[in-house]
């Protein structure tokens, strides 16, 4: 199923051509929101900031879909022999052309401006619009939305003491139900994960399996999108040595990709490996409760791909081996791919920093 989160957003625009829909730029819409806030035009403040968030989501979906599509473009190599690094160079040239064509087509189809200033991207990634939006919602007597706006900002900026005080104030208001204060930018996998946990607590094993299976696929898709976002890199320290410059850029890219897993902290996890393993454990237990031992064995084998030395799961495997055939312990291909990629990236980063430390030591 094709699910790279390509989002089709219907937005009413102030200027509509008779031939095509023209969406305003993210930069301009964001600036209009700031201006409306400054002029205390609260309804316009909400309109512009919400629109800027929608437009940016659409922008990112186009860009990252193209990055994922072009990561392994199909092409007939013109390099017949793998001489030196020529095949690698060719792959980058082909990927570059693929990106240009894909993004040009995507932005033209959606009639959206393909350029955004770095400052605007930074503000949107740091969820700055919600600092304005909570005030605008408050002034429009929409306190539940104001509370969620504050919470949404705090997800990325947990140390903002003023916003912490604001959230406390909103939750104390009779109009606000603390259980309904949500992250307005929460991803599908976080929603499904909470549903799965609740189903598990209620001993609803079938519902737990359905929710947690969705979590696995949604999380992997989300992390792939996050990783694609890393291809927009800040300027790196350059060197007259080509290999040094390229190595620095690759290391920066890998660091960024590994940091995607840091965003799981809100759920109490510090790595995608640990998160996926825990989700698989819920699935394994639920299958066991339903006497579906073959599926439980497969889930156990997949868990052990991520955490091969887990003594409890190894004990579970021994139990299942008395109930099912050996071929039931089939590892999921998506989990195998995820685990190997994560392991190899960590090894590469270790190699990079080991080399940097050696260089620094020789320089002393």
Taking the chain (364 residues) in runs of 10, the rounded mean pLDDT of each run is 38 40 82 97 97 95 94 83 88 93 91 89 96 97 97 94 97 94 93 96 97 97 95 76 88 94 87 96 98 97 97 96 94 97 95 73 52
Which tokens belong to 212?
């947690």
Q: Which residue in this structure is represented by tokens 């909570």?
A: 134
Q: Tell me, what's the pLDDT at 5?
A: 39
Q: Tell me, what's the pLDDT at 355?
A: 72
Which tokens belong to 76?
């007939």
Which tokens belong to 28?
């301009």
Q: Tell me, what's the pLDDT at 265?
A: 82
Which tokens belong to 93?
């040239």
What's the rounded Cα separation, in Å, for the pair 119 and 65?
23
218 with 275: CB under 8 angstroms?
Answer: no
Helices and strands per DSSP (H, E), number in the chain: 14, 0
Q: Tell me, what's the pLDDT at 243?
A: 87
Which tokens belong to 215?
């979590």
Q: Tell me, what's the pLDDT at 362?
A: 53
Q: Tell me, what's the pLDDT at 43?
A: 97
What is the model's pTM?
0.85
Query: How many CA atoms are closer than 13 Å to the CA of 339, on its beta-carbon side?
Result: 17
Burial of 90: CB neighbours in 10 Å, binned 0-12, 13-18, 19+: middle
Give the three-class secondary structure for 16: strand
170 with 176: CB under 8 angstroms?
Answer: yes
Q: Which residue in this structure is represented by tokens 């087509």?
A: 105
Domains of the chain are 26-77+84-125 (no CATH), 129-180 (no CATH), 188-231+250-358 (1.25.40)
Q: Residue 17: what are its φ and ψ, rounded to 5°? A: -75, 155
Q: Tell me, what's the pLDDT at 3?
A: 43
Query: How many CA atoms are closer than 13 Å to the CA of 95, on its beta-carbon side?
Result: 13
């Amino acid at each position: 199923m094709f699910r790279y989160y390509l989002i089709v957003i219907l937005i009413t625009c102030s200027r509509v051509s008779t031939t095509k829909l023209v969406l305003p730029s993210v930069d301009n819409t964001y600036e209009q929101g700031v201006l409306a806030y400054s002029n205390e035009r609260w309804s316009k403040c909400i309109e512009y900031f919400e629109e800027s968030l929608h437009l940016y989501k659409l922008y990112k979906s186009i860009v990252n879909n193209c990055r994922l599509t072009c990561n392994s473009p199909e092409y007939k190599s013109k390099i017949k022999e793998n001489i030196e690094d020529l095949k690698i160079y060719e792959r980058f040239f082909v990927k570059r052309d693929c990106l240009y064509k894909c993004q040009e087509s995507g932005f033209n189809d959606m009639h959206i401006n393909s350029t955004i200033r770095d400052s605007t991207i930074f503000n949107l990634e740091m969820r700055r619009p919600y600092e304005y939006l909570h005030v605008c919602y408050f002034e429009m007597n929409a306190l539940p939305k104001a509370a969620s706006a504050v919470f949404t900002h705090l997800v990325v900026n947990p140390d903002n003491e003023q916003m912490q005080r604001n959230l406390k104030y909103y939750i104390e208001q009779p109009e606000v139900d603390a259980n309904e204060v949500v992250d307005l930018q929460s991803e599908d996998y976080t929603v499904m994960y909470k549903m799965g946990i609740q189903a598990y607590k209620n001993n609803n094993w079938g519902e737990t399996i359905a929710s947690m299976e969705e979590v696995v696929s949604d999380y992997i898709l989300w992390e792939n999108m996050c990783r694609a976002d890393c291809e927009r890199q800040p300027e790196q320290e350059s060197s007259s040595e080509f290999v040094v410059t390229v190595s620095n850029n690759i290391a920066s890219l890998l660091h960024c990709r590994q940091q995607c897993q840091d965003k799981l902290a809100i759920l109490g996890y510090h790595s995608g490996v640990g998160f996926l393993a825990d989700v698989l454990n819920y699935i394994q237990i639920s299958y066991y409760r339903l006497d579906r031992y073959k599926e439980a064995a497969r889930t156990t084998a997949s868990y052990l791909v991520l955490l091969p030395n887990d003594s409890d799961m190894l004990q579970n495997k021994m139990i299942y081996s008395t109930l099912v055939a050996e071929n039931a312990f089939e590892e999921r291909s998506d989990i195998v791919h995820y685990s190997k990629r994560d392991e190899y990236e960590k090894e590469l980063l270790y190699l990079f920093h080991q080399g940097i430390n050696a260089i620094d030591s020789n320089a002393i």
